[in-house]
Amino acid sequence: MTSAILDSFPQINLQAKDPEEKFITSGVSWEAYETLLNALGDSSGYRLAFLEGILEIMSPSRRHELDKKNIGRLLEAYLEENRIRFWGLGSTTLRKVDKQAGKEPDECYCFDIDKNIPDLAIEVIYTSGSANILEIYQRLSVTEVWLWQNNQFEIYYLQNNSYEQRQQSQLLPNLDLSLMAQYVTISDPLEAIVEWRKQIRVN
């Protein structure tokens, strides 16, 4: 039944002329990184990642932002339907000077109570870069990271201070991320969220 429903919606047709732009440089001090964060401010369309003097600046593509929004809306619908208390922190800048690491996730969430460092970070990846995403999040002590690549989720859980890849979320063990991935790629966001809510109510 689920397959038939999904087949009735067109999938996203990724446009070749929708580039993501990245600038990577090394030898950057923590002070310079924080100065740039302050200069760009909250209204910036750029995302910054910092690890041990390596700075990556990324300007997301339109398809990147569409997927980011779709994932966030679908996840929040699941949390609402299941009465799971959450705080959505979006692309809040996460940083620890003592760990020389900083990152602006595509989406991030705290569960149960609000916290300085979120429990879950989500990254949409279309182009590779030099920034080691998992190393940054490990230094920031983010419990779980989802990487969205090639229309599917990769799940990493922090165990004994290192990430282990898992088949399902440890924070949300009843969430079928393989199924949710199919709704992320539906081109009509309204139809996707309506049908997703129907699906999770049934289950």
Overall number of domains in the chain: 1
Exposure b/e, 134-161, CB count within 10 A at least 16 = b: bebbbbbebbbbbbbeeeebbbbbbeee
Domain extent for 136 = 2-202
Quick check: pTM over 0.85?
Answer: yes
- Beta strand 144-149 with 152-159 is antiparallel
The average confidence (pLDDT) of the chain is: 88
pLDDT computed for residue 1 by the predictor: 38
* Main-chain dihedrals φ then ψ at residue 143, nearest 5 degrees: -65, -40
Averaged pLDDT for residues 105-120: 97
**What percent of the chain has a predicted confidence (pLDDT) above 90?**
75
> Percent of the chain scored above 70 by pLDDT?
87
For residue 172, the domain's CATH number is: 3.90.1570.10
Q: Name the strand (E) or helix (H) holding 123.
A: strand 120-124
Q: Is the pLDDT of residue 43 over 80?
A: no
CB 183 within 8 A of CB 5: no
Residue-wise pLDDT tens digits, 163-182: 999 999 999 999 999 999 99
Residue 11, pLDDT above cutoff 90: no
